[in-house]
Amino acid sequence: MDLLQGQMEFFLQDSPVLLANMTQAITDGDAYQLQLAAHRLKGMLSRYAFTRAADVALELENKGRAATLDGASELVDQLRPMVSQLASAMSEYVK
């Protein structure tokens, strides 16, 4: 239980940073940084079987890998409320 709680705390701390990193990468035109942040978030989301959100993060990762940022902002906008939904659920267990 301690391990799970620790992972949840990590998600709660790191997911907003990763979303901000993705937004900044898009603003900066830095596809590689988008790829890195999306990859990390995808792994975190997959750990909790949040497939729909992990799929969006994978799309962002692939855009970064392909060095194309077209549509990336819209994907981050889709991902943000999903991450927030998971974070809200986790907050019930991490106090």
Amino acid identity at 25: A
pLDDT at residue 95 is higher than 70? no
Phi, psi (5° rounding) for residue 12?
-60, -35
Phi, psi (5° rounding) for residue 67?
60, 40
**pLDDT tens digits along 28-44:** 999 999 999 999 999 99
Sign of CA dihedral 16, 24, 72, 43: negative
**Computed over its alpha carbons, how large is the radius of gyration of the chain?**
13
pLDDT at residue 54 is higher than 90? yes
pLDDT at residue 76 is higher than 80? yes
pLDDT at residue 87 is higher than 80? yes
